[in-house]
Amino acid sequence: MGSDSSLSVKRAAGCVAYRYDGGALMILLIRDKYGRWTLPKGHLEPGESEAQAAVREVFEETAVDGVLGPLVTRIAYTVTKRGQPRPKQVAFFLLHAASSRAAPQAAEVAAVEWFTPDAALALIGYAQVREVLAQAIELIAGA
């Protein structure tokens, strides 16, 4: 394994965006370029904090903005780029959406939709992201 891939951690951030519809909790999911439902996220720009990146990426991918909440958790996994494994770390925050308006804004986002928590948990195509959402739902319920 090359030293470049073992030293350089790709950092990203995203949000569990939520809102209430007639008192019912709704969660925002995107359909990614691989055809899977997931949470909006993206890379950190130079000099940007995780929180700043999370808000920016959610808006760039979905046109959703709102009030940033606490960090839910960080997940780590390995991605392969140009045949080289590279560790990736993603921080996920809560984001209380300002409105129900949401639409795909980026080429890598095929769809954006609001779902009930049960539907969102059933649809998410990545086990680690499903766990992030489960933790976020507990945080929202406890708030």
Dump pLDDT digits (tens) for 81-121.
888 899 999 999 999 999 999 999 988 999 999 999 999 99
pLDDT value at residue 3: 42
Identify the CATH homologous superfamily for domain 14-76+93-142. Nucleoside Triphosphate Pyrophosphohydrolase (3.90.79.10)
**């949000």: which residue's tokens?**
15
Please state the φ and ψ torsions of residue 40, each to the nearest 5 degrees: -70, 140
Please report, for the chain, the start and end positions of each structural domain, with discontinuous segments joined by +.
14-76+93-142
Residue 13 near residue 91, CB atoms below 8 Å: yes
pLDDT along the chain (143 residues), means of 10: 57 97 96 95 95 97 97 94 90 97 92 97 96 97 82
pLDDT value at residue 25: 97
Tell how many helices (H) and how many strands (E) occur in the chain: 4, 7
